[in-house]
């Protein structure tokens, strides 16, 4: 491809709305262009990368025996009423009406559609197991689209769905898929990890995310030497030893804390550590009021609480409601003396506490030496606080958890009968008995993978495409496009490489060399073939390896061999 003919517009400056490196570089390097918030066009360069990733995904899915299909994007809303997700997906679901005012949705994923397909088509256990997948555009009305194609409202995803008669069969496919995801990410040249995760609106119990490491990634994960890995929504820890435990007193002691409302203020005022305090966070879940107790130096993990309460719509009480419930301003809430009907959930880390300092439910007052089980009785104990780097691992109880950031590219779920049950999707088993499908689903963010690849592979000059997904194998740059000899060599080399099946971007633009060098660095093709008049006099051609920032001079005849060496088994 000749750059002079290719639609590859580059910018020296990045647009003001691009925050993270991948977004800035994808705009600057002509990979994507924004149409409106969270909606992007893939330009030729970006589309080439996208297709390469798609193909890797397709090959690996086919290898598992999964079959590609294409389901509709436009879904009748009734399907979502059946599964209950018209409510549960909430405002994220893009909805629209047809001319007869019938409600439709733009598919955010296809559990309902594929389950509907299975329930009408798969009648017998003899047809199981079955795994179907597709690669197509999905829609989610994100609360806050950002980072370009990383969190978009319209994006391309590979989604696969498996149907089974037994949990053993599901387990087998689940493992096969996990393995396939590993292979996909490794083939894309992306360093990754599988972690335990929260299932969110998809549902089901067992699920794992595949995270590609990147400094600016939106996901935070925790890992332990023992092999435990989980994302921040899911991770549990055994906490860490308390520095100076609060002693239990014969009975709670009231202390005046005038005007001290935050954990920081109170701990400073009482000359103690934030960890000695216990935060009481008041939530409303439906009609119920829930008091969540967590260590003062930690945050509540709302995902965990929502899951525990089986209510995705929990919300904190407003100040007025807190006054009514506790008789005190927010900031002085505590577990002692709350109305009986209040559900008290204590974080598991509080089991290690002897005494604690809590709000007294009275303005300007806290209680010291409080003992859980004596001064108040928690309704239940559960892990509801966030994990911190350096905590002891909950799994092995010994090593410290380490945190890293990354981008979530894959998420696989054991759905069990969540959808088959609500949508009455059944088959006949060997005994002729009607049974619900046991299902799994497996998502992979294809368009997001392009962004993740850039996020994980760039330097201060531009993108560094991994070899397996680079839009072109090499970029050929004749220094002086008006030098006849240079261009003769360029044309013949270009023809030869193209003939041999290499995809070469020929920068034949009549621009200064320096300008085109900068462009080449920005665009990030792994190999640059530079043709200079001086070197050509001795039949030498310069090969520049972008990622290593390294050049070598080779004979014209050896150029093709260098390419073959670099790409090795990739082609």
Q: Which DSSP state fits 252?
A: P
Options 117-125, 189-197, 240-248, 294-302: segment touching RNA (CB under 7 A): 294-302
* Residue 397 near RNA by CB under 7 A: no
- Closest separation in Å from C-beta 103 to RNA: 20
Please count the CA atoms within 13 angstroms of the CA of 197 that sit on its side-chain side. Answer: 24
- Closest separation in Å from C-beta 47 to RNA: 20
Would the CA dihedral through 291, 295, 301, 305 be positive or negative? negative
Taking the C-alpha atoms of residue 165 and residue 440, their distance in angstroms, rounded to an integer, is 12
Q: Which helix (H) or strand (E) holds 100?
A: none
Q: Which is nearer to RNA, 515 or 571 (CB)?
A: 515
Q: Tell me the CA distances in angstroms from 199 to 251, 366, 438, 462, one per residue in order.
A: 43, 38, 17, 36
Options 277-285, 389-397, 414-422, 449-457: segment touching RNA (CB under 7 A): 277-285
* Residue 215 near RNA by CB under 7 A: no
Interface positions, 137-176, toward RNA (CB under 7 A): 143-147
- Could you say which of 435, 518, 547, 556 contacts RNA (CB under 7 A)? 518
543 touches 527 (CB < 8 A): yes
* Residue 285 near RNA by CB under 7 A: no
190 touches 452 (CB < 8 A): yes
* Residue 405 near RNA by CB under 7 A: no
The contact pattern for RNA, residues 420-459, with x = CB under 7 A and - = no contact, is: ----------------------------------------
The contact pattern for RNA, residues 252-271, with x = CB under 7 A and - = no contact, is: ---------xxxx-------
Record the tokens describing residue 541, joined without a space. 């051609």
- Closest separation in Å from C-beta 195 to RNA: 18
437 touches 142 (CB < 8 A): no
- Closest separation in Å from C-beta 511 to RNA: 7
* Residue 108 near RNA by CB under 7 A: no
Options 179-187, 223-231, 278-286, 398-406: segment touching RNA (CB under 7 A): 278-286
Options 196-204, 280-288, 367-375, 396-404: segment touching RNA (CB under 7 A): 280-288
Q: Which is nearer to RNA, 16 or 271 (CB)?
A: 16
* Residue 381 near RNA by CB under 7 A: no
- Closest separation in Å from C-beta 264 to RNA: 6
Q: Return phi, psi of residue 89, to 5°.
A: -70, -30
* Residue 342 near RNA by CB under 7 A: no
Q: Which is nearer to RNA, 147 or 163 (CB)?
A: 147
- Could you say which of 38, 46, 108, 203 contacts RNA (CB under 7 A)? 38
CA angle 405-406-408, nearest 5°?
140
Taking the C-alpha atoms of residue 214 and residue 453, their distance in angstroms, rounded to an integer, is 9
- Could you say which of 161, 222, 283, 465 contacts RNA (CB under 7 A)? 283
220 touches 232 (CB < 8 A): yes
Question: Going by C-beta distance under 8 Å and a sequence separation of 6 or more, which residues neighbour residue 133?
Answer: 61, 66, 67, 68, 69, 158, 159, 160, 161, 442
- Could you say which of 332, 353, 413, 506 contacts RNA (CB under 7 A)? 332
- As a dihedral over the C-alpha atoms of residue 524, residue 511, residue 492, residue 540, rounded to 10 degrees, the angle is -70
Give which of 347, 359, 331, 341 is closest to 252, Cα–Cα: 359
* Residue 503 near RNA by CB under 7 A: no
Taking the C-alpha atoms of residue 336 and residue 326, their distance in angstroms, rounded to an integer, is 10
- Closest separation in Å from C-beta 514 to RNA: 2
Q: Which is nearer to RNA, 59 or 549 (CB)?
A: 549
- As a dihedral over the C-alpha atoms of residue 78, residue 84, residue 88, residue 92, rounded to 10 degrees, the angle is -20
Q: Which DSSP state fits 123?
A: -
CA angle 115-117-122, nearest 5°?
95
- Pairing label, strands 130-139, 67-68: parallel
- Closest separation in Å from C-beta 37 to RNA: 3
Options 132-140, 349-357, 397-405, 515-523: segment touching RNA (CB under 7 A): 515-523
Give which of 558, 548, 477 is closest to 3, Cα–Cα: 477
* Residue 521 near RNA by CB under 7 A: yes
- Could you say which of 25, 31, 211, 322 contacts RNA (CB under 7 A)? 322
- Closest separation in Å from C-beta 207 to RNA: 21
Interface positions, 527-566, toward RNA (CB under 7 A): 530-535, 542, 544, 551
* Residue 286 near RNA by CB under 7 A: no
Residue-by-residue DSSP string for 493-528: HHHHHHHTT--EEE---SS-HHHHHHHHHHHT-SEE
- Closest separation in Å from C-beta 424 to RNA: 35
Report the interface residues with RNA, using CB under 7 A.
10-13, 15-17, 19, 28, 36-38, 143-147, 261-264, 279-283, 298-300, 302, 315-317, 319, 322, 330-333, 359, 386, 461, 479-480, 482, 512-515, 517-522, 530-535, 542, 544, 551
């Amino acid at each position: 491809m000749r750059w002079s003919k290719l639609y590859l517009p580059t910018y020296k400056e990045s647009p003001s709305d691009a925050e993270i490196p991948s977004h800035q570089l994808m705009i600057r390097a002509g990979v994507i262009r924004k149409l409106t918030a969270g909606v992007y066009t893939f330009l030729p360069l970006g589309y080439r990368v996208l297709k390469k990733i798609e193909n890797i995904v397709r090959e690996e899915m086919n290898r598992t025996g999964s079959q590609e299909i294409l389901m509709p994007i436009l879904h009748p809303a009734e399907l979502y009423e059946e599964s209950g997700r018209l409510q549960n997906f909430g405002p994220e679901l893009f909805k629209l009406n047809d001319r007869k005012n019938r409600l439709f949705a733009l598919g955010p994923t296809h559990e309902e559609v594929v389950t509907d397909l299975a329930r009408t088509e798969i009648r017998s256990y003899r047809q199981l197991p079955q795994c179907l997948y597709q690669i197509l555009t999905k829609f989610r009305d994100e609360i806050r689209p950002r980072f370009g194609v990383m969190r978009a409202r319209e994006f391309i995803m590979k989604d696969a769905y498996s149907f089974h008669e037994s949990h053993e069969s599901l387990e087998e496919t689940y493992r096969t898929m996990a393995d396939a995801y590993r292979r996909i990410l490794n083939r894309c040249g992306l360093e990754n990890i599988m972690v335990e995760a929260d299932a969110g609106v998809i549902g089901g119990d067992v699920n794992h995310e595949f995270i590609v490491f990147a400094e600016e990634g939106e996901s935070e994960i925790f890992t332990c030497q023992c092999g435990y890995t989980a994302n921040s929504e899911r991770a549990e820890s055994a906490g860490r030893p308390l520095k100076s435990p609060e002693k239990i007193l014969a009975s709670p002691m009231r202390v005046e804390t005038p005007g001290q409302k935050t954990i920081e203020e109170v701990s400073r005022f009482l000359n103690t550590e934030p960890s000695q305090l216990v935060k009481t966070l008041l939530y409303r879940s439906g009609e119920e009021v829930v008091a969540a107790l967590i260590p003062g130096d930690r945050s509540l993990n709302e995902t965990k609480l929502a899951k525990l309460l089986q209510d995705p719509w929990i919300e904190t009480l407003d100040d007025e409601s807190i006054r009514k419930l506790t008789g005190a301003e927010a900031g002085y809430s505590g577990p002692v003396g709350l109305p009986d009907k209040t559900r008290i959930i204590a974080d598991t880390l509080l089991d290690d506490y002897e005494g604690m300092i809590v709000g007294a439910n009275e303005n300007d007052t806290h209680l010291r030496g409080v003992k859980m089980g004596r001064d108040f009785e928690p309704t239940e104990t559960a892990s509801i606080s966030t994990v911190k780097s350096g905590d002891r691992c909950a799994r092995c109880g010994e090593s410290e958890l380490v945190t890293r950031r990354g981008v979530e590219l894959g998420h696989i779920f054991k759905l069990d009968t969540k959808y088959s049950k609500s949508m009455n999707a059944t088959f006949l088993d060997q005994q002729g008995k009607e049974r619900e499908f046991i299902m799994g689903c497996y998502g992979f963010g294809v368009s997001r993978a392009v962004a993740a690849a850039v996020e994980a592979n760039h330097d201060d000059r531009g993108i560094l495409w991994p070899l397996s997904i680079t839009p072109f194998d090499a970029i050929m740059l004749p220094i002086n496009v008006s030098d006849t000899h240079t261009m003769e060599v360029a044309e013949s080399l270009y023809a030869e490489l193209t003939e041999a099946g290499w995809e070469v971007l020929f920068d034949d633009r009549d621009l200064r060399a320096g300008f085109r060098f900068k462009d080449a660095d920005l665009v990030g093709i792994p190999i640059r073939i530079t043709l200079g008049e001086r070197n050509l006099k001795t039949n030498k051609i310069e090969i520049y390896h972008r990622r290593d920032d390294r050049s070598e001079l080779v004979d014209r005849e050896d150029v093709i061999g260098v390419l073959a060496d670099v790409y090795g088994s990739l082609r």
